[in-house]
Amino acid sequence: MTLNALLFQALNGLSSASGLFFVAVGLSLIFGVSRIINIAHGSLYMLGTYIAYSFATHVGGGLGFWGGIVATAVLVGLIGGLIEILLLRRIYRAPELFQLLATFALVLVINDATLAIWGPEDLFGPRAPGLRGAVELLGRHLPSYDLFLGALGPVVLVILHMILARTRFGRLVRAATQDREMLGALGVNQTLLFTSVFALGAALAGFGGALQVAREPANLATDLTALGDAFVVVVVGGMGSITGAYLAAVIIAEVKAICIGLGTVDFGLFSLNFSKLTLVAEFLVMAVVLIARPYGLLGRAQATVRTIAEPEEPIRPASSSLTASAAVVFALLLALPWLARSSPYLLVLGIDVLIAVIFAVSLHFIAGPGGMHSFGHAAYFGLGAYGAALLVKWCGATMGLALIAAPLVALFGALMFGWFSVRLSGVYLAMLTLAFAQIVWATVFQWEALTGGSNGVIGIWPPPPFDQANTYFWLTLVLAVGAVLSLRRLLFAPFGYAMRAGRDSALRAEAIGIDVKRVHWLAFAIAGAVGGVAGGLFAFAKGSISPETIHVGRSIDGLVMVLLGGIQTLTGPVVGATVFAVLQDTVMRQTEYWRALLGGIILLLVLAFPGGIVGAVMRLVGKARAS
């Protein structure tokens, strides 16, 4: 690799940096003003690619391509404004994580709406009129369109900077980023400001997606990919900083470009294929930055938001009636193998539900009482699954030994990753957990000699008598009940009270002698170990595992389960996991557009029960008793 080649790759990386910047800067503005973690932002970017494709192919010519990019930005901005008016404005009084749940439902709805309109195939747009050639630089040819994108990023950055620095709208945005409640107290129309900022952020996402139509095909997987990239850029640069977003986009794009340029490098004793690091390069950068600078390169600590949501109810021991109800449910589950003789599939679904319950209660343990919102909890589920499967495949271990090893492997990973994660808070902690999960995923995906790579590990079936569905169901039920009761016992022990004290007021907890970071680190490790139990059971239930076991989608599913049931109740994750798993299974078999139907159901549940299903039921029972 020559110096010229490296410089060329670095120059080529600027075009990718602009694409990252366009999708990330809108997300940064939205979060800075409204504090909403907009999971649907990647979907707006994806819509931009499809709408721009339609303009470019149906109108044609320079007007269809260049005019289509501008029109796409306007249309996606209007869609974003409608989303804020029709949905988000209705749930501003809900806890912030329930807003995340609502935007996740939008991801499902928008993805299936796109599928219905444009179909499942990748759509390739035309090359950019007037920029179809290439420019010779450093002995190589760089596409003119890539050069144009590389120059466009700084231009948009300057325009946004001028808007934020020189206009009244910009001053209001900056003020809302610092203290949005004080802004409202001064008489500023927060409703109009939130809608305007959300529409602007959506327009920037649509603009970024539209610009990519000449470089990449429009496809349905773009939404989560773009979302992950956007979050990384925003967090590395610093929440609310547009300059930081551009700087982070450049750093990440350049790291990827240089990795591609280096290729395989021989160090004598070993060789390293740097091009494989492109799968995880941005997450490595994010992990390093967050460990060194917890608020990003140009970010600052976010001001405390005086939330308008209802105060959280403290977690209380179960009442005698709830305990009796739980005993009845347990008895029915024990009898399910006999009750389901006419429908064996119910046992398979029951096993899936119980595994989901274990995973959900382990995540709830740190997300609810611990206040640590993890976006990467699937890492410990996956470590448990791979730990059990590889022990059986490579060592010939028994299922019992593999199920013991699963939580131990996950515990080791949680101890290692949690030590860094608990030193952060809020969205920065969430994104660092996501970074660690993606690093685990990339390792599993690329270490083919050990993990089988994308093919995964197959043939991991339970031995007799657990090869029978009823016996394996009972085993899963016992472990699920054990996990739920063990975590519940911890929550009402001094350890649990210390964990909640650290969540509610770290300064006061430290003042009375509680080592908050140590308590939260141990809680993180315990949650990871219990998640590993779910992963081990999953490996034997399915007979095979793949890197999808650790994918970010599973982490999001876990958050959905916890939020759907209710994050401030101990029965919430149990109910949420059950409802989500049954809904997902039922809806998937009803229609090709099951994502949209599932998303619509989740939206209805969010609007009807903003505190979760269990939280809403408890409030209704409380009102009935009071009357």
Same domain, 356 and 241: no
Peptide bond preceding 369 in cis form (omega within 30 of 0):
no
pLDDT tier, 301 (very low <50, low <70, confident <90, very high otherwise): low
> pLDDT tens, 134-170?
887 777 778 888 889 988 999 999 999 899 888 888 8
Asked if the model's pLDDT at residue 267 lies above 80, the reply is no
Q: Which of 152-156, 196-200, 568-572 has the least mean pLDDT?
A: 568-572
Indicate if 131 and 206 belong to the same structural domain. yes
Q: Is residue 326 part of a domain?
A: no
435, 569, 611 from 619: Cα distances, Å: 37, 12, 9
Whether 119 maps to a domain, the answer reads yes
333 touches 326 (CB < 8 A): no
Shared-domain flag, residues 174 and 28: yes
Query: Is 194 found in the same domain as 83?
Result: yes
**Assigned domain for 547 exists:** yes
DSSP 15-70: HHHHHHHHHHHHHHHHHHHH----TTHHHHHHHHHHHHHHHHHHT-HHIIIIIHHH
Q: How many CB atoms lie within 10 A of CB 182?
A: 13
- Confirm whether 329 is domain-assigned: no
Selected residue with higher pLDDT from 63 and 202: 202
Q: Do 268 and 417 have their domain in common?
A: no
Judgement on whether residues 254 and 377 belong to the same structural domain of the protein: no
pTM reported for the whole predicted model: 0.85
Q: Are residues 565 and 462 part of one domain? A: yes
Residue 269 has a pLDDT of 67
> Residue 175 pLDDT more than 80?
no
Cα–Cα distance, 232 to 297 (Å, whole number): 12
Among the ranges given (52-56, 268-272, 427-431), the one the predictor scored with the smallest mean pLDDT: 268-272
Considering the domain architecture, whether residues 183 and 51 belong to the same structural domain is answered as: yes
Strand, helix or coil for residue 268: coil
Same domain, 10 and 154: yes
83 CB contacts (<8 Å, ≥6 apart)? 40, 106, 198, 202
Number of domains the chain is built from: 2
Q: How do residues 76-90 score in pLDDT, each as one tens digit?
A: 999 999 998 988 887
My answer on whether 351 and 233 are in the same domain is: no
CB atoms within 10 A of CB 60: 13
CA distance 383 to 532: 6
Could you tell me if residue 361 is inside a domain?
yes
On whether both 181 and 96 belong to a single domain, the answer is yes
Picking from 292, 326, 358, the residue at the C-terminal end of a domain is 292
Is 458 found in the same domain as 516?
Answer: yes
- CATH number of 94's domain: 1.10.3470
The total of other beta-carbon atoms located within 10 Å of residue 269's CB is 5
| Per-residue DSSP letter, 126 | P
What gap in Å lies between CA 34 and CA 190, rounded to an integer? 9
Residue 306 lies in a domain: no
Residue 326 or 192, more confident = 192
Evaluate whether residue 299 is within a structural domain.
no
73: containing domain: 3-292
In-domain check, residue 301: no
What's the pLDDT score for residue 304?
Answer: 45
> Would you say residue 179 has pLDDT above 80?
no
